[in-house]
Structure 1
Amino acid sequence: MDRTSVKIVVAGGFGTGKTTLVASVSEIPPLTTEEILTEASVGVDDLTGVEGKKTTTVALDFGRITISPDVVLYLFGTPGQDRFWFMWDELAQGAVGAIVLVDTRRLDSSFPAVDYFERRGIPFVTAVNRFFGECDYTEEEIRGALELDPRVPLVWCDARDRPSSKLALVTLVRHAMKRLTARAPA
C-alpha cells in the first residue's frame, strides 16, 4: 500500500506551545531540541507572560501522526525566537500548510509567523492556545489584531490536549485541501 506523506509546520512565537502541541498528537515519542534557558538568554528572550518557561526549542520538534491507513502527517515545530528564524525556510519547504499557534498574553509574538506564511502563500490556520482556560478576547478581536484574512480559519485549542490539537490539524488539512482544489485546473 502506498502511503501519502504530508508535511505540516507548527509555528508561532516564543512560548506559544509548539513543542507541547507536537508532543500531544505525535504517535511516536517526539524528537525535540529543547535546551535549558540560561543566563545568556537574559535580555535576548522576552519572558514577559511566560516567566515560568525553563526551556526553549533551538532547532525543531518532530512528530508523526497517521490520520488514515494511507495518509501520514509529519509535524515540524519551529523555534520561536527571531534568532532562529533562518530555520523556518528549511522547515517550511515542501509543507502543505502550517498551524500558527497564538498566545493572547503575547499576541505580538504571533505577527511574524502570520506574515511569514501569508507572504509565501502557504495555507495556514491560526490556533489560539488556551493554556490557562478561557480567552478574554473574541474571535473578531483576535482576527482584527492579527489582521487575518477572513478565509484563514481560526480555531481554539489547548496544545496539551490531544483531541484539541488534532482538531487544529484536521482544520488545517481541510483548509489546505480546499485551497489546492480551488487552484487545480478544471
Structure 2
Amino acid sequence: MDFAGFDHPGRTTRDRGPRSVKVMIAGGFGTGKTTMVRSVSDIKPLTTEETLTEASADVDHLIGIADKTRTTVSMDFGKICLNDELMLYLFGTPGQERFWFLWNGLFKGALGAVVLVDTRRLASSFRAIEEMERQDVPFVVAVNVFPDSPVHPVEEIRDALDLDPHTPIVSCDARDRRSSRDVLVALIRHLQERSTAALEPR
C-alpha cells in the first residue's frame, strides 16, 4: 500500500523512514475499544481498567452489556506497524460520560480515528461521532459484531448515526487481530483518499 499521499508531493515515506501516526479508538461505553487495542497491538498494551462497582451503578448504564465487569478510566495505549512505512500509535478513549473531559487532551495530534459502535446500543456512540466532527478528525465507523447483535443494512446504520455519505462503515470483530487490523487499514485508506482529494486542483 502506498502512503505517499500523506506527504508533500515528490516526497515519500521511504525517503524519511517509517511514518508514525496517532490514531484514536473511540466509541461509547462497552463498545470494544480496549478489546480492539489489545487484539491488534504489537506490544503489550497499556490499559487503565478498573473494576465496576455498585458505586457506579447509577452512572454506567449496562443495558445490553450486563456481563461487563471492568471499565477504562483514562485511556488505552498500543501500537501496530502496518508495514515498513507506517507505524500507528493507538489511543483508546474512555467511554463513560464522567470521563469525557479527558478527550480533548487525547485527541491532540490525532490524524484519524475509529469509532466503534454496537448495534444493540447505537446511541452510546453519538457523543464520539459528535466529537470527531467538532474537532474535525477524519474517522471510520466500525460496527463491532457481538453474538446477539441485530443486523442492519449499512445505509440504515448511516442514517441512524446521521453520518456523512463519505464516512466509511465497516464490520469487525474487535477480539480478532486480523479483523481489527482491517479496520485500521480502512481508516488509512480513507485518510489517504482525503489527502489526495485535498491536493487535486479545484
Q: What's the TM-score once normalised by structure 1's chain length?
A: 0.96
The answer to whether the Cα contact below 8 Å between 1:8 and 1:76 also exists between their aligned partners in 2 is yes
Q: Aligned to 1:129, which of 144, 157, 162?
A: 144
Q: What CA distance in whole angstroms lies between the structure 2 residues aligned with 1:58 and 1:39?
A: 16
Question: Is the partner of 1:104 in helix, strand or coil?
Answer: coil
More strand by share: 1
Instruction: Give me the identity figure in percent.
Output: 58
Mapping of residues 120-159 of structure 1, within 5 Å: 120-132=135-147, 135-159=150-174
Question: Which AA in structure 1 matches 2:41?
Answer: S
Post-superposition shift, 1:67? Answer: 1.0
- After superposition, residues 78-93 of structure 1 pair within 5 angstroms as 78-93=93-108
**Structure 2 gap segments, 5+ residues each:** 1-15
Q: Output the TM-score relative to the length of structure 2.
A: 0.88
1:83 to 1:140, Cα distance in 2 relative to 1, 3 A:
same
Listed one character per residue, the Cα deviations across residues 92-134 of structure 1 (whole Å, up to 9, x for unaligned) are 1111100000001111101111111012211000000002166
Contact kept in structure 1, 2:119 and 2:149, CA below 8 Å: no
Matched residue of 2:50: which SS?
strand
The alpha carbon displacement at 1:71 in A equals 1.5
The letter for the 2-side match of 1:21 is M
CA contact (8 A) 1:126 1:152 kept: yes
Residues 131, 159 of structure 1: 8 Å contact kept: no
Deviation at 1:135, TM superposition (A): 3.9
Q: What letter matches 2:143 in structure 1?
A: V
Matched-pair contact (CA < 8 Å) for 2:27–2:124: yes
2:49 matches 1:34: yes
- 1:77 maps to 92
Equivalences, count: 186
Residue 199 of structure 2 is aligned to residue 170 of structure 1: no
Q: Which has the larger radius of gyration?
A: 2
The question of whether the paired residues in 1 share the 8 Å contact of 2:23 and 2:91 is answered with: yes
Q: How do 1:106-121 and structure 2 match up within 5 A?
A: 106-121=121-136
Q: What is the aligned partner in structure 1 of residue 5 from structure 2?
A: none
1:96 is aligned, of 111, 114, 119, to 111
